[in-house]
């Protein structure tokens, strides 16, 4: 049950990182 949640967290983290990179 933890794996799907971790996958979602890491995925959203990647999206946020990409967004922050674009904002810079």
Model pLDDT for residues 1-24, shown as the tens digit of each residue: 577 887 888 899 998 988 887 877
Q: Which of 23, 21, 11 is nearest to 3 (CA)?
A: 11
End-to-end CA distance of the chain: 36
User: What local confidence, expressed as pLDDT, does residue 13 receive?
Assistant: 92
d(CA 7, CA 24): 26
User: What local confidence, expressed as pLDDT, does residue 1 receive?
Assistant: 59
d(CA 16, CA 1): 23
pTM flag (> 0.75): no
């Amino acid at each position: 049950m933890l794996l799907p949640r971790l996958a979602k967290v890491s995925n959203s983290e990647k999206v946020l990182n990409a967004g922050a990179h674009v904002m810079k």
